[in-house]
Amino acid sequence: MGKHMQIEDLGLKDYKETWEYQEFLFQKILQIKSSNRNEKLNRETPNFFLFVEHPHVYTLGKSGHIENLLISEEKLKSIDAKFYKINRGGDITYHGPGQIVGYPILDLENFFTDIHKYMQFLEEMIILTLAEYNIKAERSKGETGVWIDVGTPFARKICAMGVRASRWITMHGFALNVNTDLGYFDNMIPCGIKGKAVTSLNVELGKPEIPLEEVKEKLLKHFLVLFEAEINEKTEA
Protein backbone atom coordinates (compact mmCIF):
# COMPACT_ATOMS: atom_id res chain seq x y z
CA MET A 1 0.00 0.00 0.00
CA GLY A 2 1.41 3.37 -0.98
CA LYS A 3 4.57 2.02 -2.62
CA HIS A 4 3.44 2.46 -6.20
CA MET A 5 5.77 4.59 -8.37
CA GLN A 6 4.89 6.65 -11.41
CA ILE A 7 7.97 6.83 -13.64
CA GLU A 8 8.40 9.73 -16.06
CA ASP A 9 11.29 10.41 -18.44
CA LEU A 10 11.21 14.11 -19.27
CA GLY A 11 14.06 13.96 -21.80
CA LEU A 12 16.09 17.18 -22.19
CA LYS A 13 14.26 19.84 -20.19
CA ASP A 14 15.07 23.27 -18.80
CA TYR A 15 16.03 23.21 -15.12
CA LYS A 16 13.54 25.87 -14.00
CA GLU A 17 10.65 24.19 -15.84
CA THR A 18 11.54 20.88 -14.21
CA TRP A 19 11.83 22.51 -10.78
CA GLU A 20 8.33 23.97 -11.22
CA TYR A 21 7.05 20.54 -12.23
CA GLN A 22 8.61 19.04 -9.11
CA GLU A 23 6.80 21.69 -7.06
CA PHE A 24 3.53 20.80 -8.80
CA LEU A 25 3.93 17.11 -7.92
CA PHE A 26 4.99 18.01 -4.37
CA GLN A 27 1.80 20.05 -3.91
CA LYS A 28 -0.27 17.21 -5.40
CA ILE A 29 1.01 14.83 -2.71
CA LEU A 30 0.72 17.45 0.04
CA GLN A 31 -2.93 18.19 -0.79
CA ILE A 32 -3.85 14.52 -0.46
CA LYS A 33 -1.97 14.22 2.83
CA SER A 34 -3.65 17.34 4.18
CA SER A 35 -7.15 16.23 3.21
CA ASN A 36 -6.48 12.77 4.67
CA ARG A 37 -5.52 14.38 7.98
CA ASN A 38 -8.25 17.05 8.05
CA GLU A 39 -11.09 14.89 6.79
CA LYS A 40 -9.92 11.63 8.38
CA LEU A 41 -9.55 9.95 4.99
CA ASN A 42 -7.10 7.26 3.96
CA ARG A 43 -6.40 7.95 0.31
CA GLU A 44 -3.14 6.60 -1.07
CA THR A 45 -0.57 9.28 -1.88
CA PRO A 46 1.27 8.92 -5.20
CA ASN A 47 5.05 8.67 -5.60
CA PHE A 48 6.94 9.89 -8.65
CA PHE A 49 10.38 9.23 -10.10
CA LEU A 50 11.49 11.71 -12.75
CA PHE A 51 14.42 11.10 -15.10
CA VAL A 52 15.69 14.18 -16.93
CA GLU A 53 18.67 15.72 -18.70
CA HIS A 54 19.21 19.45 -18.30
CA PRO A 55 20.84 21.97 -20.63
CA HIS A 56 24.00 23.43 -19.02
CA VAL A 57 23.11 24.86 -15.60
CA TYR A 58 24.70 25.55 -12.22
CA THR A 59 22.50 25.35 -9.11
CA LEU A 60 23.31 26.55 -5.60
CA GLY A 61 21.69 24.92 -2.56
CA LYS A 62 20.32 26.95 0.34
CA SER A 63 23.44 26.34 2.46
CA GLY A 64 25.82 26.94 -0.45
CA HIS A 65 28.32 29.73 -1.03
CA ILE A 66 28.14 31.84 -4.19
CA GLU A 67 31.95 32.12 -4.27
CA ASN A 68 32.06 28.44 -5.27
CA LEU A 69 30.86 29.57 -8.70
CA LEU A 70 34.13 30.67 -10.29
CA ILE A 71 32.84 32.50 -13.36
CA SER A 72 31.00 35.74 -14.04
CA GLU A 73 27.50 36.23 -15.37
CA GLU A 74 29.02 37.19 -18.73
CA LYS A 75 31.04 33.96 -18.86
CA LEU A 76 27.91 31.98 -18.05
CA LYS A 77 26.24 33.44 -21.12
CA SER A 78 29.28 32.75 -23.29
CA ILE A 79 29.20 29.02 -22.42
CA ASP A 80 25.41 28.88 -22.81
CA ALA A 81 24.82 28.04 -19.14
CA LYS A 82 22.27 29.24 -16.57
CA PHE A 83 22.49 29.69 -12.81
CA TYR A 84 19.80 29.24 -10.13
CA LYS A 85 19.66 29.45 -6.34
CA ILE A 86 17.35 26.67 -5.18
CA ASN A 87 15.76 25.13 -2.08
CA ARG A 88 17.61 21.82 -1.80
CA GLY A 89 20.43 20.98 0.58
CA GLY A 90 24.06 21.00 -0.47
CA ASP A 91 26.26 23.53 -2.19
CA ILE A 92 26.89 24.12 -5.90
CA THR A 93 26.22 21.52 -8.57
CA TYR A 94 26.44 21.37 -12.35
CA HIS A 95 23.88 19.70 -14.63
CA GLY A 96 24.25 19.18 -18.33
CA PRO A 97 23.71 16.88 -21.32
CA GLY A 98 25.02 13.34 -20.87
CA GLN A 99 24.19 13.38 -17.17
CA ILE A 100 21.32 11.33 -15.73
CA VAL A 101 19.40 13.41 -13.21
CA GLY A 102 16.83 11.67 -11.04
CA TYR A 103 14.16 13.37 -8.94
CA PRO A 104 12.21 11.02 -6.65
CA ILE A 105 9.14 12.89 -5.37
CA LEU A 106 8.08 10.50 -2.65
CA ASP A 107 5.81 10.50 0.35
CA LEU A 108 8.32 8.90 2.70
CA GLU A 109 5.49 7.97 5.05
CA ASN A 110 4.74 5.29 2.44
CA PHE A 111 8.23 3.85 3.01
CA PHE A 112 10.02 4.99 6.18
CA THR A 113 10.38 8.30 8.00
CA ASP A 114 14.17 8.54 8.04
CA ILE A 115 15.87 11.08 5.77
CA HIS A 116 19.32 9.65 6.50
CA LYS A 117 18.16 6.20 5.39
CA TYR A 118 16.62 7.79 2.30
CA MET A 119 19.95 9.35 1.31
CA GLN A 120 21.73 6.05 1.98
CA PHE A 121 19.31 4.21 -0.29
CA LEU A 122 19.86 6.70 -3.11
CA GLU A 123 23.63 6.30 -2.72
CA GLU A 124 23.27 2.52 -2.64
CA MET A 125 21.24 2.60 -5.87
CA ILE A 126 24.16 4.37 -7.58
CA ILE A 127 26.77 2.06 -6.03
CA LEU A 128 24.90 -1.06 -7.16
CA THR A 129 24.40 0.34 -10.66
CA LEU A 130 28.10 1.16 -11.06
CA ALA A 131 29.02 -2.31 -9.76
CA GLU A 132 27.28 -3.71 -12.84
CA TYR A 133 29.98 -1.92 -14.86
CA ASN A 134 32.70 -3.38 -12.58
CA ILE A 135 33.30 -0.01 -10.95
CA LYS A 136 33.81 -0.01 -7.18
CA ALA A 137 32.07 3.11 -5.95
CA GLU A 138 31.46 4.07 -2.33
CA ARG A 139 30.51 6.76 0.14
CA SER A 140 33.03 9.26 1.45
CA LYS A 141 32.66 10.10 5.14
CA GLY A 142 31.34 13.61 5.67
CA GLU A 143 30.80 14.17 1.94
CA THR A 144 27.55 13.55 0.09
CA GLY A 145 27.26 11.65 -3.15
CA VAL A 146 29.09 8.66 -4.56
CA TRP A 147 32.84 8.49 -5.05
CA ILE A 148 35.60 6.34 -6.56
CA ASP A 149 38.99 5.65 -4.94
CA VAL A 150 37.96 7.13 -1.59
CA GLY A 151 40.87 7.69 0.77
CA THR A 152 43.44 8.00 -2.00
CA PRO A 153 44.92 11.07 -3.75
CA PHE A 154 42.82 10.04 -6.77
CA ALA A 155 39.41 10.30 -5.08
CA ARG A 156 36.81 11.56 -7.53
CA LYS A 157 33.07 12.11 -7.42
CA ILE A 158 30.86 10.45 -10.02
CA CYS A 159 27.43 11.28 -8.58
CA ALA A 160 26.24 14.40 -6.75
CA MET A 161 23.23 14.45 -4.43
CA GLY A 162 21.07 17.11 -2.86
CA VAL A 163 17.55 16.65 -1.55
CA ARG A 164 14.82 18.55 0.18
CA ALA A 165 12.16 16.98 2.40
CA SER A 166 9.15 18.75 3.88
CA ARG A 167 6.33 16.95 5.69
CA TRP A 168 8.13 13.77 4.62
CA ILE A 169 7.74 14.62 0.92
CA THR A 170 11.01 14.59 -1.02
CA MET A 171 12.25 16.76 -3.88
CA HIS A 172 15.44 17.09 -5.95
CA GLY A 173 17.73 14.04 -5.93
CA PHE A 174 20.87 12.85 -7.72
CA ALA A 175 22.99 13.64 -10.78
CA LEU A 176 25.05 10.77 -12.20
CA ASN A 177 27.77 11.69 -14.69
CA VAL A 178 27.53 9.25 -17.59
CA ASN A 179 28.71 11.00 -20.77
CA THR A 180 29.10 14.41 -19.17
CA ASP A 181 31.43 17.14 -20.47
CA LEU A 182 33.62 17.39 -17.38
CA GLY A 183 35.10 20.70 -18.52
CA TYR A 184 32.05 22.48 -17.12
CA PHE A 185 33.08 21.46 -13.61
CA ASP A 186 36.18 23.66 -13.94
CA ASN A 187 33.90 26.69 -13.53
CA MET A 188 33.02 25.86 -9.93
CA ILE A 189 34.22 24.18 -6.74
CA PRO A 190 32.06 21.03 -6.97
CA CYS A 191 29.75 20.82 -3.95
CA GLY A 192 32.06 23.31 -2.25
CA ILE A 193 34.75 20.64 -1.75
CA LYS A 194 38.17 21.93 -2.76
CA GLY A 195 40.87 19.73 -4.25
CA LYS A 196 38.59 16.85 -5.29
CA ALA A 197 38.14 15.71 -8.87
CA VAL A 198 35.01 14.65 -10.72
CA THR A 199 34.60 11.84 -13.23
CA SER A 200 31.99 10.18 -15.41
CA LEU A 201 31.04 6.63 -16.33
CA ASN A 202 32.35 6.83 -19.91
CA VAL A 203 35.73 8.17 -18.69
CA GLU A 204 36.04 5.38 -16.11
CA LEU A 205 35.23 2.75 -18.74
CA GLY A 206 37.40 4.36 -21.42
CA LYS A 207 34.49 4.49 -23.87
CA PRO A 208 33.24 7.44 -25.94
CA GLU A 209 29.63 6.98 -24.86
CA ILE A 210 27.46 4.79 -22.63
CA PRO A 211 23.76 4.36 -23.58
CA LEU A 212 21.76 6.47 -21.12
CA GLU A 213 18.67 4.26 -21.39
CA GLU A 214 20.74 1.25 -20.32
CA VAL A 215 21.96 3.07 -17.20
CA LYS A 216 18.46 4.33 -16.36
CA GLU A 217 17.10 0.79 -16.47
CA LYS A 218 19.72 -0.37 -14.00
CA LEU A 219 19.11 2.60 -11.68
CA LEU A 220 15.37 2.01 -11.67
CA LYS A 221 15.79 -1.72 -11.06
CA HIS A 222 17.89 -1.10 -7.94
CA PHE A 223 15.62 1.72 -6.74
CA LEU A 224 12.53 -0.51 -6.86
CA VAL A 225 14.29 -3.29 -4.93
CA LEU A 226 15.74 -1.00 -2.25
CA PHE A 227 12.45 0.82 -1.66
CA GLU A 228 10.35 -2.34 -2.11
CA ALA A 229 8.30 -0.36 -4.63
CA GLU A 230 6.52 -1.26 -7.82
CA ILE A 231 5.74 0.67 -10.99
CA ASN A 232 2.28 2.11 -11.38
CA GLU A 233 1.42 1.82 -15.05
CA LYS A 234 -0.63 5.05 -14.90
CA THR A 235 1.76 7.82 -15.89
CA GLU A 236 -0.44 10.86 -15.84
CA ALA A 237 0.40 13.45 -13.20
Catalytic: 159?
A: no
Q: Residue 157: which of 188, 132, 115 has the closest Cα?
A: 188
CA–CA gap between residue 162 and residue 7 (Å, rounded): 20
Judge whether 155 is annotated as a binding position: no
Judge whether 160 is annotated as a binding position: yes
Q: In this structure, is the dihedral angle defined by the CA atoms of residues 122, 123, 125 and 126, taken in order, positive or negative?
A: positive
CA–CA gap between residue 56 and residue 139 (Å, rounded): 26
CB contact at 8 A, 200 and 177: yes
Judge whether 162 is annotated as a binding position: yes
Beta strands in 41-106 (DSSP E): 47-53, 57-60, 82-85, 92-95, 99-105
Question: Residues 6 or more apart from 5 whose CB is under 8 A from it?
Answer: 47, 48, 49, 224, 227, 229, 230, 231, 232
Judge whether 165 is annotated as a binding position: no
Judge whether 58 is annotated as a binding position: no
Judge whether 112 is annotated as a binding position: no
Active-site residue among 191, 201, 212, 220? Answer: 191
Judge whether 175 is annotated as a binding position: yes
Judge whether 11 is annotated as a binding position: no
- How far is C-alpha 205 from the geometric centre of its chain's CA atoms? 22
Judge whether 91 is annotated as a binding position: yes
Judge whether 118 is annotated as a binding position: no
Judge whether 93 is annotated as a binding position: yes
Numbered residues of the known binding site for substrate? 88-95, 160-162, 173-175
Which amino acids are annotated catalytic? 191
Numbered residues of the known binding site? 88-95, 160-162, 173-175
